[in-house]
């Protein structure tokens, strides 16, 4: 592992000399677009710019440009850990700055400024450790030349280098390195895991203190001189636009400054948010409701069920499923139906913008800075680099803030355009629920048969739901012959498109088809775990149905199917033991299992629950085993897994967005309930020890939770639920 710097190894190096100081710049795998544009190229004396990410100042402080957003994922902590370990400085020596939205800071995986896909740690693992190691080597080399001793006789620890009696702090070495123009070594050895002092040990959150004192600054907390607050009235029907409006009552509201139409609604600008909100509520708008008023969730379910009976695009065809099913004495057939879901981040959408003739400044909790920058530049007719995007902390995202339309950022720009002060747009919770982007509604139809041993023999699945990626700029990367690889993620045994993994199972005859229904105004968007949020339910529950049909233990069936997948087999073996799967439960209790691979990480869970006669069920315990490679920050791995399980349970138990007449029925936490403390199961997390490169955990834990709970409910009650959420079936999570 130590020799493998990962997929984004350092690839180039540039020396620049300005005014007697030296700056050393290293591009990452993504080529630096013009060195002159790199911040720090003209770094003043007293600063050693190791590359575009890492700088050491003469006071010994280390500054890292953080090119990933912090929305609870733990990105900031990981960044400090990776650098500190190799540079040999205490964590407390590291400062973070939000890297500007420029190509040299784009994700080495996405080639965009984007924090998503649970790959932050994976993508930074090589580059940041290498940068830290190169900086340490440079400082040692500078000391070696200064002292006239071989570099091999110099050690570095705690921000200081030592050789015998002599020692210098990193800060003191900055001037030495600049004077000597010490070159960076081309290649450096990285530490072996056995030598890690920081990595692999639980480290508390970098910005943790600010989050218990109220000092943490989220986008909604931005205050700028003269700033106005805006509340926007949007059409209740997706795609509708304002025809005309009467603003007289709104303008009569104290504090309201202006009312204006923007592309998707009417914005009320005021000196405080409450005044803006009251002004908005006083608006009378005549809407053109557009083409989507006839759409409803029920209609989509009906249409999708019909489509699921028809041949679709063929995604996978292993063996001969149709023949095997035709030959089978008995087949099992089921349809799973999953509603729209929304993210309801605790911090409602908001953004602040200041628009000037030649530039625009934005404060936005977007997780997709390069896209927002591109969209705003196009809107304003300005060059992309004229758009500055500041990065406040983000109060949750779960995919919502990777908006491909940059919707909430664009709204702020539209509201601020033409004003000589900045404008902050704040969404109410109702707007967040009703005007959002959603996990699309899906129907899965499955047919299967078991062999003479009762083990799954044939599988035929048809997946119907709106594509998230089709007709977006991601179409080329995420669509395969018209099929969205996210819609199918977790249904296929073989790798598909750019996803280099399958289910881990080997069912002899395996056929998967899909339909992409037309887009209908509702914007589909990634929702934590993306495709797995629905494929996990359909696949893992139907697998249980087949196990039941074959009279087999569902855990045995999974272990059998995954027997040739080493990592999943190990995960399942650990899970069987840790969950005490084979120990009997009291009456009224049930256990369910599910196993998934999402974005390379195998993860499996057993949910254990009890149900009373009144239909109240309590998920008592969830045991989770994950193989995420080397766990860089186990404290955060555990947190992310607890979080994923909580969100997965929340959704399967009670979340649904219902579309009626083109409108969303739900509005706030009373009718879109999310998990509460009393409903939280006891969660046990077991991380498979590994020295492989780290893979993601941010989304993975959601994937098995819903099916594990549904399978446990079946075990406890004999009731097989195939339409979500569970609350529709007179079962209440307590």
Transcribe 316-363 into DSSP letters. EEES-HHHHHHH-S--EEEEEEE-BB----SS--EEEEEE-SS-EEEE
CB of 92 to other proteins, least distance (A): 14
CB nearer to other proteins: pick between 639 and 715: 639
CB nearer to other proteins: pick between 203 and 462: 203
CB of 695 to other proteins, least distance (A): 20
CB nearer to other proteins: pick between 71 and 499: 71
CB nearer to other proteins: pick between 571 and 675: 675
CB nearer to other proteins: pick between 78 and 512: 78
C-alpha dihedral sign at 490, 496, 497, 500: positive
- Per CB under 8 A, residues contacting other proteins are 71-74, 202, 204-205, 207-218, 220-221, 223, 229, 254-255, 272-275, 278, 344-348, 393-398, 426, 428-430, 635-636, 639, 642-647, 650, 668-670, 674-678, 680, 682-683
CB of 574 to other proteins, least distance (A): 20
Helix axes 634-654, 702-717, angle to 10 degrees: 50
Task: Give the contacts of 501 (CB within 8 A, at least 6 positions apart).
Answer: 495, 597, 599, 600
Q: Which of 588, 592, 590, 652 is nearest to 614 (CA)?
A: 588
CB nearer to other proteins: pick between 17 and 209: 209
Cβ(232)–Cβ(411) under 8 Å? yes
CB of 468 to other proteins, least distance (A): 21
Q: Phi, psi at residue 84, to the nearest 5°? A: -60, -40
Q: Quick one: how far is CA 571 from the chain centroid?
A: 23
CB of 628 to other proteins, least distance (A): 17
Distance, CA of 224 to CA of 351 (rounded, Å):
12
CB of 121 to other proteins, least distance (A): 15
CB of 716 to other proteins, least distance (A): 23
Q: Which of 584, 579, 572, 580 is nearest to 622 (CA)?
A: 579
CB nearer to other proteins: pick between 217 and 334: 217
Task: Give the contacts of 299 (CB within 8 A, at least 6 positions apart).
Answer: none
Q: How many CA atoms lie within 13 A of 234 on its CB side?
A: 23
CB of 21 to other proteins, least distance (A): 37
Q: How many CA atoms lie within 13 A of 14 on its CB side?
A: 20
CB of 272 to other proteins, least distance (A): 4
Q: How many CA atoms lie within 13 A of 214 on its CB side?
A: 0
Cβ(713)–Cβ(620) under 8 Å? no
Distance, CA of 240 to CA of 661 (rounded, Å):
12
CB nearer to other proteins: pick between 18 and 209: 209
Helix axes 407-416, 369-380, angle to 10 degrees: 40
CB of 202 to other proteins, least distance (A): 8
CB nearer to other proteins: pick between 394 and 659: 394
The tokens of 347 are what? Answer: 């911090």
CB nearer to other proteins: pick between 152 and 213: 213
CB of 254 to other proteins, least distance (A): 6
CB nearer to other proteins: pick between 166 and 204: 204
Q: Which of 177, 184, 182, 174 is nearest to 59 (CA)?
A: 174
Write down the number of H helices and E strands in the chain.
Answer: 18, 32
Cβ(511)–Cβ(567) under 8 Å? no
């Amino acid at each position: 592992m130590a020799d493998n710097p990962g997929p984004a190894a350092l690839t180039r190096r540039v020396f620049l000399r300005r005014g007697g100081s030296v700056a050393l710049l290293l591009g990452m795998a993504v080529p630096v677009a013009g060195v002159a544009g790199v911040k720090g190229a003209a770094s003043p004396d007293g600063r050693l710019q190791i590359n575009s990410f890492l700088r050491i100042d003469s006071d010994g402080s280390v500054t890292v440009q953080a090119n990933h957003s912090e929305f609870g994922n733990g990105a900031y902590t990981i960044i400090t850990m990776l650098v500190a370990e190799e540079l040999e400085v205490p964590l407390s020596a590291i400062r973070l700055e939000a890297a500007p939205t420029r190509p040299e800071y784009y994700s080495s995986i996405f080639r965009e400024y984007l924090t998503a896909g649970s790959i932050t740690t994976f993508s930074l693992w090589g580059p940041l450790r290498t940068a830290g190691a190169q900086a340490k080597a440079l400082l040692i080399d500078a000391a070696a030349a200064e002292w006239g001793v071989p570099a091999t006789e110099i050690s570095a620890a705690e921000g200081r280098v030592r050789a015998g009696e002599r020692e210098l702090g990193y800060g003191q070495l900055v001037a030495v390195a600049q004077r000597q123009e010490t070159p960076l070594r081309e290649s450096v050895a990285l530490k072996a895991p056995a030598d890690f002092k920081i990595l692999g040990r639980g480290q508390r959150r970098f910005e943790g203190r600010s989050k218990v004192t109220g000092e943490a600054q989220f986008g909604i907390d931005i205050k700028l001189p003269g700033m106005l607050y805006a509340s926007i009235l949007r059409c209740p029907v997706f795609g509708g636009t304002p025809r005309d409006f009467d603003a007289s009552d709104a303008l009569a509201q104290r504090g309201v400054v202006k009312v204006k139409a923007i592309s998707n609604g009417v914005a009320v600008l005021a000196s405080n948010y409450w005044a803006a909100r009251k002004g908005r509520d006083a608006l009378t708008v005549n809407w053109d409701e557009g083409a989507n008023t006839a759409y409803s969730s029920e209609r989509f379910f009906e249409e999708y069920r019909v489509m699921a009976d028809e041949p679709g695009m063929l995604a996978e065809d292993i063996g001969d499923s149709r023949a095997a099913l035709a030959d089978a004495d008995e087949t099992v057939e089921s349809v799973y139906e999953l509603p729209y879901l929304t993210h309801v981040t605790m911090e409602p959408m908001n953004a602040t913008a200041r628009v000037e003739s030649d530039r625009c400044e934005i404060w936005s909790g977007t997780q997709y800075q390069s896209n927002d920058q591109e969209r705003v530049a196009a809107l304003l007719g300005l060059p992309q680099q004229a758009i500055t995007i500041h990065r406040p902390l983000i109060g949750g995202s779960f995919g919502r803030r990777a908006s491909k339309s940059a919707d909430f950022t664009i709204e702020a720009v539209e509201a601020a355009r033409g004003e000589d002060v900045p404008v902050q747009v704040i969404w109410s919770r109702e707007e967040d629920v009703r005007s959002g982007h959603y996990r699309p509604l899906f129907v899965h139809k499955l047919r299967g048969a078991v062999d003479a041993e009762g083990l799954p023999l044939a599988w035929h699945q048809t997946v119907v739901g709106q594509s998230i990626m089709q007709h977006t700029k991601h179409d080329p990367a995420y669509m395969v012959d018209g099929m969205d690889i996210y819609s199918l993620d977790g249904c296929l045994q073989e790798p598909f498109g750019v996803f280099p993994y399958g289910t881990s199972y080997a069912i002899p005859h395996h056929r998967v088809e899909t339909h992409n229904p037309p887009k209908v105004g509702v914007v589909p968007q990634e929702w934590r775990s993306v495709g797995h949020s629905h494929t996990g339910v359909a696949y893992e529950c139907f697998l249980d149905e087949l196990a039941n049909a074959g009279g087999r233990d569902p855990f045995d069936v999974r272990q059998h199917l995954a027997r040739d997948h080493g990592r999943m087999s190990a995960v399942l073996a650990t899970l069987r033991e840790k969950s005490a799967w084979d120990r009997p439960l009291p009456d009224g209790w049930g256990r369910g299992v599910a196993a998934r691979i999402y974005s390379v990480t195998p993860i499996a869970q057993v949910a254990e629950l009890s149900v009373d006669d009144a239909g109240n069920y309590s998920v008592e315990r969830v045991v989770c085993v994950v193989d995420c490679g080397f766990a860089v920050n186990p404290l955060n791995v555990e947190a992310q897994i607890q979080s994923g399980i909580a969100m997965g349970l929340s959704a399967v138990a009670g979340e649904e967005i219902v579309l009626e007449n083109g409108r969303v029925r739900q509005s706030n936490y009373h009718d879109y309930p999310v998990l509460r403390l009393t409903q939280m199961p006891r969660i046990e997390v077991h991380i498979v020890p590994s020295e492989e490169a780290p893979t993601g955990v941010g989304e993975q834990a959601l994937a098995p939770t819903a099916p594990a709970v549904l399978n446990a409910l079946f075990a406890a009650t004999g009731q097989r639920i195939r339409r979500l959420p569970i609350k529709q079936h007179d079962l209440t999570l307590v």
